[in-house]
Amino acid sequence: MFKKVLIANRGEIAVQAIRTCRDMGIQTVALYSSTERDSLHVRLADECRPVLSEKRYADMDEVLQIARETGSDAIYPGYGFLAEEANFIQRCTHEGIVFIGPPAEVVRRCKDKLGMMEMVDNAGHLTPRRSLEPATVEEIDKLAAMGAEVGYPLVVKACRGGRGRGSRVVDRPEKLPDIAAIAEREAERIFGDGHLFLERVISPSHYVVVEILADKQGNIVHLGEREGSVLLRNQKLIEEAPAPCLSDEQRRRLWDAAVDIARRVGYQGAGGFEFLVDGEGKFYFTEIKARIQVEHAVSGMLSDVNIIKEQIRIAAGQPLAFRQDEIRLSGCAIQCRINAENPWQNFMPSPGILTTFRLPGGQHVNVDTYGYVGCTIPPRYDSLLAALVVWAEDRPAAVSRLLRSLQDFKIIGVQTTLPMHLQMVTDPAFVTGDYDTNFMRRFRFEEPHLDDRTRQDFAVAVAVAYAGRTGAKEPAIPQRMLSGWHRSSRRLPS
């Protein structure tokens, strides 16, 4: 097992990784940028080092240099930054440092979306209708012909993309050139490759992910599936397991398909195998996220498996600690992604300092976060502040526990998406589980309504605050109300 692991990430995933390493008796090194010196992951690690490059956590040279200087024998990437950079994984191998994740060749295979879909087609699994070749905006005639063949509405996708980046929906042919140009620029900036392909929109649909663990000995297991159909700008706001859109028979066939694809691609480590389920219940493979995902804790709660721990064990060459028939998937788990964003201002990021941070608690309630009172929420990184996950014996009980936990959660100092989540989880479509990827198009987020009870609570709070400030023991008229100036200002003209 490793002696020291460099955590090449920040935020709540870095906190989770450090705590898991501490449980396993492994020392950790935290990285931090200039605005995150006091971040929780820095406080929890055994050592910490600043990242000085403008690329910060994504600078391969600096991360490897710090790993060498600190004597780290492994690097944990989490998600984002260097998590799916095949060149970085190769460099780690060359340096004799273990990358805790899939090998470089597997990552390259997974990021080649067209190649992956062709392999899945040949294996007899369904994939969405799509263009068979990549193209760029300079080849606009080729893109237009591809669009006519695929059919509208369609999605413009980055060939090397992930996390929904470089993806745009086009509903009419005349919009294709402009939208493709936007997608290409985004793909080039984020992935270094602007090549695009086109995919037919499946609507209505459900976005379903199967969590896979695979070791170096060839053992592969799944931890069930999650549904993440509540999407905003290609980001999942709520994810739950099991997926309410599937029957038991569909569920078993989906698991078998994911395991078969994982075996064919030679997968190792933890990964999310993503599918779209159409209105008829047919499921279509879309891509593999060759890394851990924000929503991994949902599968962890459902299966009682620490996925980060298994990632580390697999990277160290150890076989999986269990086999498929030993995994028990029970109950229902739901996660809400709490972002430091202002939902009333088009989800503008809300950096600042947390002055109040009260976490919900109780049985089967977990919050993964880097927040604490006095913590600085920086402006330059992903706005994810906390991932709230609950478990219960069935879905109605889990929804009820989730609502109570959201009501208990209190954050002051920055704007967050908590008010929006409170409305979403009480929406009739979500309560019944009868929702799909069009949920956010129909959902109307409204300003909080102050009912009579809430107004009474505010009045009592103001009265108590006034009494505390003035030391008054009995009802009294404020002194300023008794001044001659105040009386004169209210006198009616004669």
List C-alpha distances in Å: 36 to 48, 194, 287, 357, 415: 11, 32, 33, 18, 19
Q: Which of 43, 85, 37, 94 is nearest to 67 (CA)?
A: 94
Instruction: End-to-end CA distance of the chain: give it in Å, rounded.
Output: 91
205: its two tokens: 């649909």
The answer to whether the beta carbons of residues 155 and 167 sit under 8 Å apart is yes
How many C-beta atoms lie closer than 10 Å to residue 69's C-beta?
11
CA atoms 116, 78, 300, 424: torsion sign: negative
Q: Supply φ then ψ for residue 265, to 5 degrees.
A: -85, -5
Measured CA to CA, the distance from residue 309 to residue 302 in angstroms comes to: 16
412: its two tokens: 């002051």
291 tagged catalytic: yes
List C-alpha distances in Å: 136 to 114, 164, 173, 175, 182: 15, 18, 16, 15, 11
Q: Which residues contact 479 (CB under 8 A, 6 or more apart)?
A: none
Q: Of the residues 56, 108, 200, 291, which is catalytic? A: 291
Strand 235-241's sheet: what is its strand order? 283-289, 269-278, 205-214, 220-232, 235-241, 332-339, 384-392, 365-369
CA atoms 320, 325, 326, 329: torsion sign: positive
* H or E stretch covering 7: strand 4-7
Number of H helices, E strands in the chain: 17, 22
478: its two tokens: 């404020």
Catalytic residues: 291
